[in-house]
């Protein structure tokens, strides 16, 4: 299998003309591309959470499962309904929380209590249609990094055909 360029799964940003702050999740590749050894890790994605503000620029590594990616789709539904959402729910690493505000903006926080202890919270004023943009990014990631294995019985995986 050949390597693929990094692809944004999430890109939450101020609309053009504002402060230029953003939080994103970039998929950089598979954890074990093309290796059936460790097949239960095959579909895991190596990612980084990228935070950009006037005073902070940072990247936090995170590994996502196919279930995490599917859960992001559900979280987008909550966000579209004006509710807050935290993701991923795995507890394995950094967590992103999005809290929509009444004026169409949002507060986004990234917390990494287990590893670095870093917590960053920033306000964003996204452009209209930001949820649809996130859904388009999700569809692209799913197309570039489709599930490669299937669980045929508990703990037994084979290549998807």
Query: At 156, is the secondary structure helix, strand, or coil?
Result: strand
> Does the structure show a pLDDT above 50 at 35?
yes
List, in order, residues 6 or more apart from 129 with CB less than 8 Å away.
Answer: none
pLDDT per residue as tens digits for the range 42-89: 568 899 999 999 888 999 999 998 889 999 999 999 999 999 999 998
Query: At 17, is the secondary structure helix, strand, or coil?
Result: coil
> Do residues 115 and 95 touch, judged by C-beta distance below 8 A?
no
The torsion defined by the Cα of 5, 94, 82 and 142, in degrees rounded to 10, comes to: 30
Q: What is the pLDDT of residue 39?
A: 47
Q: What is the pLDDT of residue 34?
A: 58
| pLDDT-derived band at 147, boundaries 50, 70, 90 | confident
Q: Between 157 and 65, whose confidence is greater?
A: 65
Distance CA 117, CA 129 (A): 33
The closest of 135, 94, 118, 115 to 11, measured between CA atoms, is 135
Element (H, E) at 149: strand 149-153
Q: List domains and CATH numbers for the chain.
A: 7-159 (2.30.31)
Query: What single-letter DSSP state applies at residue 88?
Result: -
> Does the structure show a pLDDT above 90 at 133?
yes
> Does the structure show a pLDDT above 80 at 31?
no
């Amino acid at each position: 299998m050949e390597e693929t360029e990094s692809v944004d799964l999430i890109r939450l940003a101020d609309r053009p003309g504002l402060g230029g702050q953003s939080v994103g999740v970039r998929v950089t590749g598979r954890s074990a591309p093309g290796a059936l050894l460790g097949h239960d890790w095959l579909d895991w994605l190596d990612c980084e959470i990228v935070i950009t503000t006037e005073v902070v620029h940072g990247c936090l590594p995170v590994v996502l499962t196919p279930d995490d990616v599917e859960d992001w789709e559900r979280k987008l539904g909550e966000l579209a309904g004006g509710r807050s959402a935290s993701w991923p729910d795995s507890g394995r690493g950094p967590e992103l929380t999005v809290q929509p505000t009444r004026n169409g903006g949002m507060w986004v926080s990234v917390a990494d209590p287990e590893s670095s202890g870093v917590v960053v919270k920033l306000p964003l004023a996204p452009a209209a249609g930001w949820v649809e943009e996130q859904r388009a990014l999700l569809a692209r990631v799913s197309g570039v990094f489709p599930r490669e294995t299937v669980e045929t019985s508990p703990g037994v995986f084979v290549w998807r055909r």
